[in-house]
Amino acid sequence: MEKGVINNKIYVVGHKNPDTDSICSAIAYAQLRTELTGERHNPRRAGQLNEETQYVLDYFNVKAPALLTDLRVQVKDVAMREVEGMRGSVSIKSAWARMKEENLKTLPVTREGKLEGLITIGDIATSYMDVYDSTILATSRTQYRNIATCIEGEIVTGNPHSYMSNGKVGIVASSRKLMAEFVEPEDLVILGNRKEVQQMAIDMGVSCMIVSTGAELDDGILEQAKEKEIVIITTEQDTFTVARLINQSIPIRHFMSGRDGLVSFKMRDYVDDVKEVMMRNRYRDFPVLDNKGKFLGFISRRRLLNCRKKQVILVDHNEKSQAVNGIEQADVLEIIDHHRLSSIETMGPVFFRNQPVGCTATIVYQMYQENGVKVSSTTAGLLCAAIISDTLMFRSPTCTPLDEQSARKLAELAEVDIEMLAQAMFRAGSNLKGKTAEEICFLDFKQFTVSDMVFGVGQVNSMSEEELSEIKEKVLPHLEKARESHSLNMIFFMLTNIITESSELLCAGPEAREKLINAFDLRSEMEELHLKGVVSRKKQLVPALVEALQQ
């Protein structure tokens, strides 16, 4: 049975090192798209939350979105073939019949849903062609009911659930003297209607007698067999046919490939990794298991070609370096952003909304209004907080009249005081006690590429100059190490004072200081690089750096 794609979710996600706008816009836009389409949209985060964003979510009692770190195709995005497992005690004949009926090349052997092994057509061929051992029924602990089924016989006495544990299989067609030399206790014997031979088999203590050609049994023989717990199977088949068919009763567990030696995959495994493993193992079908070893289905090389890409909507970014890993393998459905156009490439046309406003949340609120969808008080609070964060409570040069109007209207819907909320947010965001220099550097960090030059910009906002000084003392010695560990040509860090609306710039990397000096026409002898009126990474710092790098 073909199983459809399991993972049909649509993710709404912001950039790496997410800020409040990235998280809140993802949550709000996922709600809007779910409302408009009736199809579940799932907000996600692409990194660790910073203190400001966590404060906002806690304030409005909203659960943080789940983490999404990779958009590469996984096994759960592949249409598997569902095959019901068979018990290991089932006969080779039954397995073969089912494989022909369902056109299968491989069958899973399961117990209570968990995979024990696989049986293939090749394994069954081996059982037919390469087995010459007359003790194999005992070695494989074959049940007598399997034997009866395979030879189209009937168990007339004995326990059908018992199995051969010792002895061999033999055909009794010789004299009593030769039979005495050949037959041993606990053997299984195939014989006909000769009463004296049947009696001798009982006297010798065989475990099972197969009486062929529909021969009748004497009541005395039956009584003795019952007393000695000898299984008697009768069949209309002749002796030759019984001998030919009997090995088909062997349980499949005897020929299957055991669980420990199998190559299997989990639902969360990435298809890129799966392909490499498949290239080294020339099997037709590979089992997929859950974390508890339960068998879910089969995948093959051919099925990997028909996998479904993850569907994603990007908010608050359109630059590949800022996107979730594996974005090139995803199906990007929409982009909602307020930054410069950059490097995200798509296979086909997408809905792309980009407006020169201070915050993505402003655009999302517009879309609620345009579609006549009511904004809940909680969602209004999230969107308001996002605008406060991105515009530094309307102090950033990126802030537009539309941003401020939207934030004040959303504050009314959420019944919050903008000034009080802003102070609490910024206080939480600048409280970095207990964090390492590495963590502070990349709390609010974005990476950019200009020609072959890769640089990153981090930023911390605070209403306290004393707090910014403490952060500087911690971060400055670590910048060069951070640059090298992230393979950046240059790294910059903004210490932004919200009250004075100014920033001090820290940097590391060859020519980083010179580029800053040229970009903002500063004096080269300046020990500290203070920029009055510069608070926006997007609108003030990055454009000036890009121009300086291009010269």
Residue 445 and residue 388 share a domain? no
pTM: 0.70
Whether residue 104 is contained in a domain is answered as no
Do 251 and 90 contact (CB within 8 A), yes or no? yes
Residue 408 and residue 459 share a domain? no
What pLDDT tens digit does each residue of the chain (551 aa) get?
445 445 578 999 999 989 999 999 999 999 999 999 999 999 999 999 999 999 999 999 999 999 999 999 999 888 888 999 999 999 999 999 999 999 998 999 999 999 999 998 888 887 777 666 788 888 889 999 999 999 999 999 988 888 888 888 888 865 666 777 788 888 999 988 888 888 888 988 899 999 998 888 888 989 999 999 999 999 999 989 998 888 889 899 888 887 777 899 999 999 999 999 988 887 888 999 998 889 999 998 888 877 888 999 999 999 888 999 999 999 999 999 998 888 787 877 899 999 999 999 999 999 999 999 999 999 999 999 999 999 999 988 889 999 999 999 999 999 999 999 999 998 888 777 778 999 899 888 989 988 888 999 999 988 888 889 999 999 999 999 999 999 999 999 999 998 899 999 999 999 999 999 999 988 888 889 999 999 998 889 999 999 988 87
Q: At residue 163, what is the residue type?
A: Y
**Chain segment 67-102, per-residue pLDDT in tens:** 999 999 999 888 888 999 999 999 999 999 999 999
Which domain-ending residue is among 200, 218, 249?
249
Residue 415 and residue 443 share a domain? no
The number of beta carbons lying within 10 Å of the beta carbon of residue 420 is 9
Q: What is the pLDDT of residue 499?
A: 86
Residue 400 and residue 339 share a domain? yes
Runs of H (alpha helix) within 324-446: 360-370, 377-390, 401-414, 418-429, 437-441
Rounded Cα gap, residues 296 and 6, in angstroms: 11
- CB neighbour class for 156 (10 Å; exposed up to 12, middle 13-18, buried from 19): middle
Give the domain extent around 209. 141-249
Give the length of the chain. Answer: 551
Q: Three-state SS for 29?
A: helix
Whether residue 2 is contained in a domain is answered as no
Q: How far apart are the first and last CA of the chain?
A: 62
Q: What is the pLDDT of residue 5?
A: 46
- CB neighbour class for 229 (10 Å; exposed up to 12, middle 13-18, buried from 19): exposed
Do 442 and 17 contact (CB within 8 A), yes or no? yes
Do 406 and 435 contact (CB within 8 A), yes or no? no
Rounded Cα gap, residues 188 and 212, in angstroms: 13
Residue 468 and residue 408 share a domain? no
Q: What is the pLDDT of residue 414?
A: 97
Do 195 and 213 contact (CB within 8 A), yes or no? no
Whether residue 297 is contained in a domain is answered as no
Whether residue 526 is contained in a domain is answered as yes
Residue 238 and residue 188 share a domain? yes
Q: What is the pLDDT of residue 4?
A: 47
Which domain-ending residue is among 215, 249, 283?
249
Whether residue 152 is contained in a domain is answered as yes
Rounded Cα gap, residues 158 and 144, in angstroms: 9
Residue 420 and residue 443 share a domain? no
Whether residue 185 is contained in a domain is answered as yes
The structure tokens 């055991």 sit at: 258
Which domain-ending residue is among 391, 411, 429?
429
Do 508 and 481 contact (CB within 8 A), yes or no? no
Residue 399 and residue 317 share a domain? yes
User: Comparing C-alpha atoms, which of 310, 309, 293 is closest to residue 259?
Assistant: 293
**Chain segment 314-358, per-residue pLDDT in tens:** 999 998 889 999 999 999 999 999 988 887 878 778 999 999 999
Residue 457 and residue 425 share a domain? no
Residue 318 and residue 425 share a domain? yes
- What is the total count of domains within the chain? 3
Q: Can you say how many angstroms the Cα of residue 314 is from the centroid of all Cα atoms in its chain?
A: 20
Q: Report the relative pairing of strands 66-67 and 106-111 from DSSP bridges.
A: unpaired
The CATH number of whichever domain residue 196 belongs to comes to: 3.40.1390.20
Residue 342 and residue 422 share a domain? yes
Cβ neighbors of 132 (< 8 A, separation 6 or more) are none
The CATH number of whichever domain residue 32 belongs to comes to: 3.90.1640.10
Q: Report the relative pairing of strands 10-13 and 311-315 from DSSP bridges.
A: parallel
Give, in degrees to the nearest 5, the angle at Cα 230 between 163 and 176: 115
Residue 401 and residue 487 share a domain? no
The CATH number of whichever domain residue 470 belongs to comes to: 3.10.310.20
Whether residue 63 is contained in a domain is answered as yes
**Chain segment 209-231, per-residue pLDDT in tens:** 999 988 888 889 899 999 999 99
One DSSP character per residue, 223-267 reads HHHHHTT-EEEEESS-HHHHHHHGGGGSBGGGTSEEGGG---EET
Whether residue 62 is contained in a domain is answered as yes
Q: Three-state SS for 540?
A: helix
